[in-house]
């Protein structure tokens, strides 16, 4: 870690009077001693704006950290999260000579041997990479994404610095231990690691493209794997209109309300059908084709959900909108994210107290994302462990809602999503899904059958050893236990046989 860089960060903290966050007289006193002019500075600009400006002064990695922090509304006050959401990842492009040098090094050859044309001016420039349009030798129009020179070193250096600052915050800030800044930095580090490997981003792009291979609602660029590596990604060039340019979309005859509904359907399809979703769906990463289909861009940050996560979310949403707060509390306890000794009555009442006021509004004005935020905030009081994949989902949901209602202020998110969620929940308990799960688990059951006698023997020897000197009562008790175990073993074998029968039936019918 560069000492000079650390000193600069401290200078920015003092310059923007961020020491007030620490609520420590000792730290504030040091601030005045280091920078006496602060004693005469006005503190009229609110803390959220000063924090945003400080991050912008500290550079791209701190800007990205602020963007990520803005999604943790379960941790930070609303005024700060709202202000940090305004951070823009706009960075001056690096020179074409650098671009050429990187590409030729990665391809071990001249730029002209790979491309017929290569636009020297970048189409987009961000903190980690920039994009140029080009044409391959076979005439295919492509977009070429190139990592910034030495960006990996710069990112890791600043993340180490963030780690040290987080450690200091936990010591000097009254809310430091509760808000766990080191945990937040660790989460941020995972996100940036994935963005620094363009092969991983190419895999994300390809995965999403396979999930939407029917191309009915969403277009995903094709990846040209022969030209991809960790530093360079080459994909199909897409032609569309930025989704935020509503006037142009209307002039092209796009059905805007339908576009808003399609966006919601795409999101819930990614989440509940695939368990794999684009986690950076702000307007800058979305375009619209002339026929009204969405075009996805930038696949550096993706989220994934397990079947357990999906069950949790679907049941929560359905219970929420039925005002079944006990159902919400039960889902949390069943999932294991809230300790099982939690008072379900207290938890239900806490959820009711924060969510019931929301339902005084018309359904079309209710925010799914804000519901999740309120839920996470309440759950933390009951020692719920925050799941990173759910905070990514919350951020994405807020983006989707914001975009949907920008396109169509009358969009009723619940009306659009409710049939989708209820259908998905029914499918999970339907015969086809049961048979699908049996097919999935059957090989494991078969593999474990030969181990059952050995496992039973070990269980009896370790837990049910009958001493020769035991009295008849104890012997009788052990015999009863043995009968129960034998009965259980019979049930297990019977389940395996039934599973096999279902599997054979499934193979025949489906």
DSSP 270: I
Q: What is the CA radius of gyration of the chain?
A: 28
Q: Which residues pair with residue 125 across a beta bridge?
A: 130
286: enclosing H helix or E strand: strand 286-288
Give me the residue label for tokens 């999932």: 335
- How far apart CA 388 and CA 303 sit, in angstroms, is 9
The answer to whether 280 is a known catalytic residue is yes
- Catalytic residue among 280, 298, 309, 408, which? 280
Q: Which residue's entry shows tokens 């925050």?
A: 386
* Long-range contacts from 444-451, C-beta under 8 angstroms, 24+ separation: 445/495, 445/496, 445/499, 446/496, 449/493, 449/496
Q: Retrieve residue 135's tokens.
A: 């044409």
Label residue 182 exposed, middle or buried (CB < 10 Å: 0-12, 13-18, 19+). Answer: middle
The residues near 210 (Cβ < 8 Å, ≥ 6 apart) are: none
Number of alpha carbons in the 13 Å side-chain half-sphere of residue 498: 7
Cα–Cα distance for residue pair 61/191, rounded to 1 Å: 12
Active-site annotation, residues: 280
């Amino acid at each position: 870690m560069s000492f000079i860089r650390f000193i600069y960060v401290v200078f920015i903290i003092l310059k923007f009077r961020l020491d007030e966050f620490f609520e420590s007289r000792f730290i504030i006193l040091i601030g005045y001693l280091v920078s006496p002019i602060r004693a005469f500075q006005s503190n009229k600009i609110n803390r959220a704006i000063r924090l945003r400006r400080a991050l912008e002064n500290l550079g791209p990695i701190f800007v990205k950290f602020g963007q990520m922090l803005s999604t943790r509304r379960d941790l930070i006050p609303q005024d700060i999260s709202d202000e940090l959401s305004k951070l823009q990842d706009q960075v001056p492009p690096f020179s074409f000579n650098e671009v050429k040098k990187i590409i030729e090094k990665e391809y071990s050859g001249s730029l002209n041997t790979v491309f017929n044309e290569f636009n020297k001016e970048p189409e987009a420039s961000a903190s980690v990479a920039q994009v140029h349009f080009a044409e391959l030798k076979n005439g295919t129009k492509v977009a070429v994404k190139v990592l910034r020179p030495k960006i990996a070193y710069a990112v890791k250096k600043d993340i180490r610095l963030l780690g040290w600052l987080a450690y200091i915050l936990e010591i000097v800030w009254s809310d430091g231990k509760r808000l766990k800044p080191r945990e937040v930095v660790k989460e941020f580090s995972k996100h940036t690691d994935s963005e620094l490997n363009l092969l991983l981003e190419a895999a994300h792009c390809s995965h999403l493209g396979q999930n939407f291979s029917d191309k009915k609602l969403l277009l995903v660029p094709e990846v040209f794997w022969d030209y991809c590596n960790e530093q360079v990604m080459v994909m199909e060039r897409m032609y569309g209109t930025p989704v935020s340019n509503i006037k142009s979309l209307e002039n092209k005859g796009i059905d805007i309300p339908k576009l808003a509904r399609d966006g919601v359907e795409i999101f819930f399809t990614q989440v509940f059908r695939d368990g794999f979703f684009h986690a950076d769906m702000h307007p800058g990463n979305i375009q619209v084709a002339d026929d009204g289909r969405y075009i996805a861009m930038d696949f550096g940050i993706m989220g994934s959900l397990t079947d357990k996560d999906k069950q949790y979310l679907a049941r929560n949403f359905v219970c929420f909108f039925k005002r079944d707060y006990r159902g919400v509390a039960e889902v949390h306890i069943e999932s294991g994210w809230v300790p099982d000794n939690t008072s379900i009555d207290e938890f239900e009442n806490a959820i009711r107290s924060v969510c019931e006021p929301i339902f005084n509004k018309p359904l079309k004005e209710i925010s799914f994302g804000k519901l999740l935020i309120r839920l996470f905030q309440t759950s933390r009081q009951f020692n719920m462990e925050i799941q990173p994949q759910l905070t990514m989902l919350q951020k994405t949901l807020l983006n989707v809602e914001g975009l949907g209602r920008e396109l169509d202020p009358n969009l009723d998110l619940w009306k659009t999503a409710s049939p989708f969620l209820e259908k998905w929940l029914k499918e999970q308990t339907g015969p086809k899904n049961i048979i699908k799960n049996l097919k999935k688990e059957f090989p494991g059951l078969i593999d474990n059958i030969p181990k059952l006698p050995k496992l039973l023997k070990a269980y009896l020897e370790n837990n049910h050893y009958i001493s020769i000197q035991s009295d008849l009562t104890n012997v009788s008790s052990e015999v009863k236990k043995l009968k129960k175990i034998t009965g259980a073993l019979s049930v297990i074998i019977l389940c395996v046989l039934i599973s096999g029968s279902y599997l054979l039936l499934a193979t025949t019918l489906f």
